[in-house]
Structure 1
Amino acid sequence: MINRVSLHTFCERLKSSDLFKDSFWALAGSALGKGLSLLAGIAVARFLGKEVYGEYGTIRTTLFYIAIVSTFGFGYTATKFVADYISEKPEKLKSLVWTFLKITLVFSGLLALVQIIFAASIALFIDAPNLEFQLRFFSLLIILNGLQTTQIAILSGFKKFKETAKINIYTGFVVFIGSIIMTWFWGLTGALGALMLSFVVQVILNQIIIRHALTQYNSNEKVSRSEIYSMLGFSIPVALQESLYTIVHWIGLLLLIHFANYGEVGLSSAAALWQSVVIFVPAMLKNVMFSYLSSSDNHSSLINKLLLVNFLSSLLPVSIVILFSGFISSFYGVSFVGLPKVLNISAAAALFICLSEVYCYEFISRGKPWIVFIARLVRDMFILILTYIILQQINESQAYWFALISLIANGIFLILLHLRYRYVK
């Protein structure tokens, strides 16, 4: 009886809190936006087939991984600093926001230029010389993805979750309709074009909301150099973590290409898309969680709530994907043989990922990003070394083994973070 009353009280308090309201809006927009993106991905896979979809996944992944590095860790830093400056230095908000955007634009622009110059070499490196044009032309995605990541982080600092939700819905429709029409007429190039179009729309809409948010503050002073150095000092370990993520996952992609073929890459890409669907609730709540952790005085209580939210919000979709993996795979067409078992493992790994991210947000919000970097380094090196060893020994189901190794590594990663948080202060 006590447990029931306590649970009821907890739920009532949660529903009346700003955290619940902001989480609701983050989820409401993301649910429709992510659902439309998922349908678009299935349509693209059916139109292109397993091999060409593997090429699409390779280009998309390569450009997005580079874009992750281009944000220079501002996906977390911008949220924390904007939230801090609203209460402490509102007179410098405008300067702070434009500093984040300018650094992201310059850094992502340089990486996009490198991509354009070395597109031919990269195409040969991934054993797909026919993709040189796509790699060069769609380098703009690096800039667009970098900008929208920083913009969303800034909007999270302002707690503009309702506005962000609406933008996610608009861009979801753009990528869904655009992917069907443009892939039908222009194949691989059309699919990438639809993706780029959705990012253009999102960046424009994000910037409109940011401008409107800044009008509420009398921000005429500029941030000092020491403040910029402090901001960059916080970002560096976060940027290293994101760079590590990029390097490790890209090398994993190369290992699949080298030891298998683009068909296995296609299976891995399809499973990765569904894994992102499974974790979409925690992923969309990332900025909400980090924003509240950055301004909370009672971290222990908030961590327990966030762990429960992430567990419950990921358990149901994980179960659905595992139960209906065969049915889901049937939508991709007959060429996607072997997808169900890859889906099952990727979905199960998502549960560990969702829980471990809460600890990552906590350490970063408390100014301890190096702990997260070291833990992720150990995990990712484990994934790469074991993948290299295993793939040399097998001749089939390489995507399945890659997913299984990731499952094991993320389970260990979660345990290490939990032990560090509970027993080392």
Structure 2
Amino acid sequence: MPDLVLEKSCSARILTTDKVEEKESGGLIGGFYWTALNMGFTQGSTFLAAILVARLLGKEDFGKFAILYSTLLTVSSIAQLSIGTTATKFMAESLPHNKGRAGRILGFSASFALVSGCIASTALAALGPFVADRMLYAPEMGKLFFISSGFVLFSVLGAYQAGAVMGLHGQKALGIFAMPAGLFHVGALVLGAMAWGIVGVAIGLLGSAVFRWILQAKVLRSESTKRGIGHDIRHAWDERAVLTRFALPAALAGLSTLPALWIGQVLLAKHATGFEAVGIYTAGNNLRTMILFLPLALNSVGTAFLNTHWGARDAVRYGETFWKNLGLTAALLIVGVGIIVMFAPQALSVFGQDFSSHSAEVVVALMALAALPEGLAVSIYQIIQSRAKMWTSLWLVAMPRDITFVALAFVLTPLHGAVGLACAYLSAQLLSLLAVTGITWFIGVKVTKALHGF
């Protein structure tokens, strides 16, 4: 395996291709602009839809909506097996010098997403009534799981599409199509709630996922054709090593994380205040998501460029991209957390008058503070991801963080309700930041060792 000293011996063609891709996509800042626009419409539409649904349904049905949506996202995340992240990394890494491999990665990702999505959707439709009756003690939710089960299939397909487009540095195209997708999401959920209540919201979630899948399919076809890359289904199995070396450990981390969050919400639903407490916690969680959406947009672009620089053997840009990304992330987080903490009562009021209380303000403050270590950990984690140290991150980051969250949730939620669950979340994110920083310090930021290919 050749040394990656990244000096004059590196191929001029590879470095030139790397520079061309960065120029065409607008670099880190240009990509950030379009990704922020994309995530702004996506997260903004999710946030706006949550507010409007809360006002239309009330706290109890909004709590049911939160459980439904959380369950759909959990199942989708498990079914994805991190195929979106995998597509981003290996499409970006292969783009400068190996478009044949990029086509095989594209074919493998598409095939896997289709099969996995179908299996997961069918499983949710079949097991949804059991989960609703035996775990949530809300048998009426079984119908909701069945109606919206198709959301999982199109969510998995959409994840591979978005990941591949990011790896192709097609942030601009995703940003342009984000507005109609976001508007459709809000309209589908609101009209569904007005027409058929919580059942209509479930139908709206399915319709929104289908519409986004259609738009992203057009974007992926355009971006891949422009770069001369097609879906190589015939030789896709040649890239199966990415499953065991990268996708599987990344997916196991997701298998740990989202179910842990779901368990926390279920514990809260069983609290004395029931779904009302879930509604308050969800409001705080939505505000945390608002804080994170710009840092996450920046880091999704940083991930693509770090992997492209890694594949192109460009040590200088690799380091520059990491430190610039980390500095901008920290600045965005500090501003966002400060605004939400200072204006917590006003932020809560947008969900409705019955969401305003001292305990709800405490929940918002705790969830906002949790965004700081969470966002910093995401930024520093880019080094671990670009080196494909996914098994290390699973055992030393994801598992300790999620076990800590669930353990603290079991202890604190029965005692303090939504405030206790928010404390558990903050504690888990602080532990995650310490673990990610330690691993990154150990493997180092400088790229001076061998390139670990597949």
User: Partner residue of 2:343?
Assistant: 324
- Preserved contact between residue 69 and residue 243 of structure 1 (Cα < 8 Å): yes
User: Partner residue of 1:371?
Assistant: 392
What is the CA–CA distance in structure 1 between the aligned matches of 2:163 and 2:331, rounded to whole Å?
25
- Preserved contact between residue 26 and residue 284 of structure 1 (Cα < 8 Å): yes
What is the CA–CA distance in structure 2 between the aligned matches of 1:289 and 1:79, rounded to whole Å?
11
Q: Secondary structure at the match of 1:376?
A: helix
User: Partner residue of 2:321?
Assistant: 302
1:301 to partner: Cα distance: 3.3
Q: Are residue 227 (structure 1) and residue 239 (structure 2) matched?
A: yes
User: Partner residue of 2:406?
Assistant: 384
1:267 to partner: Cα distance: 1.1
1:237-270: CA deviations, max 9, x gaps?
1011111112211211221123341111111112
What is the CA–CA distance in structure 2 between the aligned matches of 1:92 and 1:377, rounded to whole Å?
32
Out of 71, 78, 81, the residue aligned to residue 72 of structure 1 is: 81
Say what the alpha-carbon RMSD is for the aligned residues: 2.1
User: Partner residue of 2:362?
Assistant: 341
Q: Are residue 107 (structure 1) and residue 113 (structure 2) matched?
A: no
What is the CA–CA distance in structure 1 between the aligned matches of 2:437 and 2:297, rounded to whole Å?
22
Range 347-356 or range 176-185, more displaced: 176-185
User: Partner residue of 2:271?
Assistant: 259
1:219 to partner: Cα distance: 4.7
What is the CA–CA distance in structure 1 between the aligned matches of 2:409 and 2:361, rounded to whole Å?
20
- Preserved contact between residue 125 and residue 146 of structure 2 (Cα < 8 Å): yes
What is the CA–CA distance in structure 1 between the aligned matches of 2:231 and 2:156, rounded to whole Å?
26
Range 208-217 or range 328-337, more displaced: 328-337
The change in CA–CA distance for 1:295 and 1:182 in structure 2 (over 3 A counts) is same
What is the CA–CA distance in structure 2 between the aligned matches of 1:17 and 1:208, rounded to whole Å?
21
Letter in 2 for 1:131: M
User: Partner residue of 2:152?
Assistant: 142
Q: Are residue 133 (structure 1) and residue 152 (structure 2) matched?
A: no
The change in CA–CA distance for 1:285 and 1:220 in structure 2 (over 3 A counts) is closer
Out of 350, 356, 363, the residue aligned to residue 371 of structure 2 is: 350
User: Partner residue of 1:398?
Assistant: 417
1:135 to partner: Cα distance: 0.6
Out of 293, 296, 300, the residue aligned to residue 306 of structure 2 is: 293
User: Partner residue of 1:161?
Assistant: 171
- Preserved contact between residue 79 and residue 287 of structure 1 (Cα < 8 Å): no
1:334-367: CA deviations, max 9, x gaps?
3324422211111110111110011222201112
Q: Are residue 54 (structure 1) and residue 63 (structure 2) matched?
A: yes
Alignment of 1:172-187 (within 5 A): 172-187=182-197
Q: Secondary structure at the match of 1:190?
A: helix
Letter in 1 for 2:62: Y
Range 320-329 or range 47-56, more displaced: 320-329
1:171 to partner: Cα distance: 1.1
Out of 122, 127, 130, the residue aligned to residue 121 of structure 1 is: 130
The change in CA–CA distance for 1:37 and 1:391 in structure 2 (over 3 A counts) is closer
Letter in 1 for 2:75: I
1:75-104: CA deviations, max 9, x gaps?
211011112332333235444313201201
1:17 to partner: Cα distance: 6.2
What is the CA–CA distance in structure 2 between the aligned matches of 1:109 and 1:232, rounded to whole Å?
21
What is the CA–CA distance in structure 2 between the aligned matches of 1:218 and 1:311, rounded to whole Å?
36
What is the CA–CA distance in structure 2 between the aligned matches of 1:332 and 1:220, rounded to whole Å?
44
The change in CA–CA distance for 1:122 and 1:218 in structure 2 (over 3 A counts) is closer
User: Partner residue of 1:210?
Assistant: 220
Out of 439, 443, 448, the residue aligned to residue 420 of structure 1 is: 439
- Preserved contact between residue 104 and residue 238 of structure 2 (Cα < 8 Å): no
Q: Are residue 362 (structure 1) and residue 383 (structure 2) matched?
A: yes
What is the CA–CA distance in structure 2 between the aligned matches of 1:27 and 1:178, rounded to whole Å?
23
Q: Scaled by the length of structure 1, what TM-score is found?
A: 0.90
Q: After TM superposition, where is structure 1 displaced by more than 4 Å over at least 4 residues in a row?
A: 218-222
The change in CA–CA distance for 1:224 and 1:263 in structure 2 (over 3 A counts) is closer
1:423 to partner: Cα distance: 4.4
User: Partner residue of 1:170?
Assistant: 180
Between the aligned residues of both structures, percent identity stands at 22
Unaligned 5+ runs, structure 1: 1-13
Range 281-290 or range 137-146, more displaced: 281-290
1:192 to partner: Cα distance: 2.6
What is the CA–CA distance in structure 1 between the aligned matches of 2:345 and 2:42, rounded to whole Å?
24
What is the CA–CA distance in structure 1 between the aligned matches of 2:340 and 2:72, rounded to whole Å?
27
Unaligned 5+ runs, structure 2: 1-22, 310-314, 445-454
Q: Secondary structure at the match of 1:169?
A: helix
1:293-318: CA deviations, max 9, x gaps?
11222444332211111111222222
1:224 to partner: Cα distance: 5.5
Aligned pairs, how many?
A: 408
1:187 to partner: Cα distance: 1.3
The change in CA–CA distance for 1:306 and 1:161 in structure 2 (over 3 A counts) is same
Range 240-249 or range 92-101, more displaced: 92-101
User: Partner residue of 2:45?
Assistant: 36
Q: Are residue 244 (structure 1) and residue 253 (structure 2) matched?
A: no
What is the CA–CA distance in structure 2 between the aligned matches of 1:219 and 1:327, rounded to whole Å?
50
Letter in 1 for 2:258: T
1:100-151: CA deviations, max 9, x gaps?
0120111121111111111211101111111111111101111111111111
1:52 to partner: Cα distance: 0.8
What is the CA–CA distance in structure 1 between the aligned matches of 2:199 and 2:286, rounded to whole Å?
19
1:207 to partner: Cα distance: 0.6
1:424 to partner: Cα distance: 5.1
- Preserved contact between residue 302 and residue 321 of structure 2 (Cα < 8 Å): no
What is the CA–CA distance in structure 1 between the aligned matches of 2:391 and 2:194, rounded to whole Å?
46
User: Partner residue of 2:14?
Assistant: none
What is the CA–CA distance in structure 1 between the aligned matches of 2:63 and 2:97, rounded to whole Å?
49
What is the CA–CA distance in structure 1 between the aligned matches of 2:236 and 2:431, rounded to whole Å?
42
User: Partner residue of 1:275?
Assistant: 288
- Preserved contact between residue 92 and residue 219 of structure 1 (Cα < 8 Å): no
What is the CA–CA distance in structure 2 between the aligned matches of 1:204 and 1:142, rounded to whole Å?
15
